[in-house]
Amino acid sequence: MSELTFEQMLDESFKTIRTGEIVSGEVIDVKPDYIILNIGYKSDGILTKNEYTNDMSIDLTEKVKVGDNLDVKVLKVNDGEGQVSLTYKRLVADKGSKVLEDAFNNKTVVKGVVSQTPNNKGVIVVVDDVRVFIPAGLLSDSYEKDLSKFMDKEIEFYMQEYDPKQRRYIGNRKELVVAQKEKALEEVLSKIKVGDVVEGTVKNVTDFGAFIDLGGVDGLLHIKEMSWGRIESAKKLYKAGDKIKVLIKEITGTRISLSTKFEDENPWKDLAERFPVGSVVTGKVARMTDFGAFIQLEGGIDALLHVSQISKNHVEKPSDVLKIGDEVTAEVTEVNEENNRISLSVRAMLQPKKDKEDADDNSDYASVDVEAVAAAEASEEA
């Protein structure tokens, strides 16, 4: 048997590697664009930046240092220059693909960082170097207009589609959000009941009210339930992030209606005692409609001075004789505690007692149609 040459013995002292094999190597040199690794083979391995990451803006010297150990995959045993060509990102992607496959098959939650929002049609989430697309319609249980708020944030989702051959990876965050909200709702509903007073955080304010976070579940504080008085704009009263105490007014299925109209603060309480019929009161014109003027008597209490009761003479429109802020003295002609309404009349106050008695039986003496006023007010607010 012939003796082995020195080169042959040296070659046999190194392990054998094959394309596609996963090997471990020690970093022996790092440059901004490539890494040299000792992989226990007769030639060193070279790992270019392009095979380390998809982010070409990084400097490899800031990510890796001499002495670090990396698991890599062999791309070519000989790259034409006597070195072994390696890849790190494809190995990571293989692991990521396996993570996504398991998540798809087992319906488990996946986490990833949002890296892009292409044309605001969805977001790209990177999971171990695998790009998963989540369409805008599958991002949340409600429409998300501005997707930029998700950029660079880690989010959780389920896998909707998994097709590695077509490199088609589709995520679904909406399903997870719905499930989480249902669970949170069950927990909240187990702790609260109608009549409870709880603390919440203003999440969003709209023209018709505010949505209050009660601990993972939103309740609606309608503008009509914000005050015993009239509120022109909910946005002038609350802003996102405000902490407020609210009353659980109604629970209907998954809908929670709230109120900040606490009974002990009700300005309409004992109304008939404080403003008895026949008494004379003074207030300021708070607002006007075609059918009359609302006179503020106290904070939260507006009384109606119907257009027919403004003067002894005929008045076409309240704005013909009154303006916002005018002080008005009138007689209380009706108190409706059930509907929190007070009716006033300047005309009645100016009439002699005998004339008023005659007017009670006179069809020309206009009375206020409470239901019509209520309907008109509702139409005005809408």
Whole-number average pLDDT of the chain: 86
Domains parsed from the chain with CATH numbers: 6-87 (2.40.50.140), 100-177 (2.40.50.140), 192-264 (2.40.50.140), 271-381 (2.40.50.140)
Three-state SS string across 86-147, please? EECHHHHHHHHHHHHHHHHHHCCCEEEEEEECHHHCEEEEEECCEEEEEEHHHCCCCCCCCH
Alpha carbon distance 262, 368 (integer Å): 29
Q: Which pLDDT score, from 0 to 100, does residue 217 have? A: 87
- Report whether pLDDT(370) > 50: no
Q: Which pLDDT score, from 0 to 100, does residue 250 have? A: 94
Residues written for the chain: 382
Pseudo-torsion of CA 378, 379, 380, 382, nearest 10°? 90
Alpha carbon distance 35, 49 (integer Å): 8
Q: Which pLDDT score, from 0 to 100, does residue 294 have? A: 94
- Report whether pLDDT(380) > 80: no
Read off the pLDDT of residues 135-154 as tens digits, 9 standing for 90 and up. 999 999 888 888 999 999 99
Instruction: Tell me the one-letter amino acid at 338.
Output: E
Structure tokens at 232: 């022109």
Pairing of strands 301-306, 341-345: parallel
- Report whether pLDDT(55) > 90: no
- Report whether pLDDT(87) > 90: yes
CB hemisphere CA count around 352 (13 angstroms):
2
- Tell me if 277 sits within 8 A of 231, measured CB to CB: no
- Tell me if 282 sits within 8 A of 292, measured CB to CB: no
Read off the pLDDT of residues 188-206 as tens digits, 9 standing for 90 and up. 888 889 999 999 999 999 9
Read off the pLDDT of residues 314-354 as tens digits, 9 standing for 90 and up. 999 999 999 999 999 999 999 988 888 899 999 988 876 55
Q: Which pLDDT score, from 0 to 100, does residue 377 have? A: 53
- Tell me if 290 sits within 8 A of 317, measured CB to CB: yes
Q: Which pLDDT score, from 0 to 100, does residue 366 have? A: 40
Q: Which pLDDT score, from 0 to 100, does residue 375 have? A: 52
The rounded percent of the chain whose pLDDT value lies above 70 is: 87
Q: How many CB atoms lie within 10 A of CB 306?
A: 21
Structure tokens at 134: 């989540």
Instruction: Tell me the one-letter amino acid at 259.
Output: S
Q: How many CB atoms lie within 10 A of CB 239?
A: 12
Read off the pLDDT of residues 241-293 as tens digits, 9 standing for 90 and up. 999 999 999 998 888 999 998 988 888 888 888 899 999 999 999 999 999 99
- Report whether pLDDT(358) > 60: no
